[in-house]
Amino acid sequence: MKAKKTRVRFAPSPTGMLHVGNARTALYNWLFARHTGGEYLLRIEDTDLDRSEARHETQLMEDLRWLGLEWDEGPGVPGPHAPYRQSERLGIYREHTERLLREGKAYRCFCTAEELEAERERAVAMHRPQVYSGKCRGIDREESAMRARLGEPFAVRLQIPDHPLRFHDMVRGAVEFASETVSDPILVRSGSGKSGGVPVYNYVVTVDDALMEITHVIRGDDHLSNTPKQVAVYEAFGWKVPEFAHLSTILGSDRERLSKRHGATSIASFREMGILPEALVNYLALLGWGAEGGTRETFTEEELTREFKLERVTASPAVFDWGKLHWLNRHYMKATEISRLAELAWPYFERAGLLPGQDGAPEKVSAWLEAVIAVFLPSLDQLDQLPGKAAFVFRFDVEAARANVENAEVLGTEIAGKVLAAFAARVSGAAAGSVTGEQFKAWMNEIKAETGAKGKDLFHPVRIALTGAHSGPEFDKVIPVIEAGSGLELPVHVASVRERVERFVKQQG
RNA sequence: GGCGCCAUGGUGUAACUGGUUAACACGCCGCCCUCUCAAGGCGGAGAGUUCGGGUUCGAUCCCCGAUGGCGCUACCA
Closest protein CA to C1' of nucleotide B71, residue: A222
B16 C1' – A293 CA distance, angstroms? 10
Considering A44-53, A142-151, A452-461, the range whose residues carry the highest mean pLDDT is A142-151
Residue A134 sits at φ, ψ, to 5 deg, of 85, 20
Q: Specify the nucleotide whose C1' lies closest to residue A467 (CA).
A: B36
Which residues sit opposite A216 in a β-bridge? A243
Q: Specify the nucleotide whose C1' lies closest to residue A44 (CA).
A: B77
Q: Specify the nucleotide whose C1' lies closest to residue A126 (CA).
A: B1
Residue A60, classed as helix, strand or coil, is helix
Q: Which of A5, A240, A260, A506 is catalytic?
A: A260
- The conformational region for residue A76 under phi > 0 = left, psi -120 to 50 = alpha, else beta, is left
Residue type, A387: P
Q: Which positions ≥6 away from A348 have C-beta within 8 Å?
A: A274, A383, A384, A386, A387
B77 C1' – A351 CA distance, angstroms? 37
pLDDT at A261: 78
- On the question of pLDDT at A49 being above 80, the answer is no
- Let me know how long chain A is: 509
Q: Which positions ≥6 away from A49 have C-beta within 8 Å?
A: A87, A194, A195, A198
- The total of other beta-carbon atoms located within 10 Å of residue A435's CB is 22
Closest protein CA to C1' of nucleotide B14, residue: A294
pLDDT at A409: 86
Terminus-to-terminus CA distance in chain A, angstroms?
91
- On the question of pLDDT at A165 being above 80, the answer is yes
Distance of CA A453 to the CA centre of its chain: 51
- On the question of pLDDT at A51 being above 90, the answer is no
The yes-or-no answer on residue A260 being catalytic is yes
- 3-state SS of A326-376 is HHHHHHHHHHCCHHHHHHHHHHHHHHCCCCCCCCCCCHHHHHHHHHHHHHH
Q: What number of helices (H) and strands (E) belong to chain A?
A: 22, 11
Average pLDDT over residues A334-349: 96
pTM of the predicted model, to two decimals?
0.93
Strand B bases with any atom < 7 A from protein Cβ: 1-8, 10-15, 23-27, 35-40, 69-77
Residue type, A185: P
B11 C1' – A221 CA distance, angstroms? 21
B43 C1' – A149 CA distance, angstroms? 81
Residue A50, classed as helix, strand or coil, is coil
Q: Specify the nucleotide whose C1' lies closest to residue A286 (CA).
A: B12
Q: Specify the nucleotide whose C1' lies closest to residue A124 (CA).
A: B1
DSSP string, A104-168: TSEEEE---HHHHHHHHHHHHHTT-------GGGGS-HHHHHHHHHTT---EEEEPPPSS-EEEE
Q: What proportion of chain A, given as a percentage, has pLDDT over 70?
A: 99
Average pLDDT over residues A63-76: 96
A186-188 and A155-158 beta bridge pairing: antiparallel
Which residues sit opposite A39 in a β-bridge? A7
- The total of other beta-carbon atoms located within 10 Å of residue A505's CB is 18
- On the question of pLDDT at A508 being above 80, the answer is no
Q: How confident is the model at residue A356 (pLDDT cuts 50, 70, 90)?
A: very high
Average pLDDT over residues A353-369: 93
pLDDT at A2: 53
Closest protein CA to C1' of nucleotide B12, residue: A287
- On the question of pLDDT at A81 being above 70, the answer is yes
pLDDT digits (tens, 9 = 90+) for A239-264: 999 999 999 999 998 888 888 778 77
B32 C1' – A98 CA distance, angstroms? 77
pLDDT at A3: 62
B37 C1' – A295 CA distance, angstroms? 31
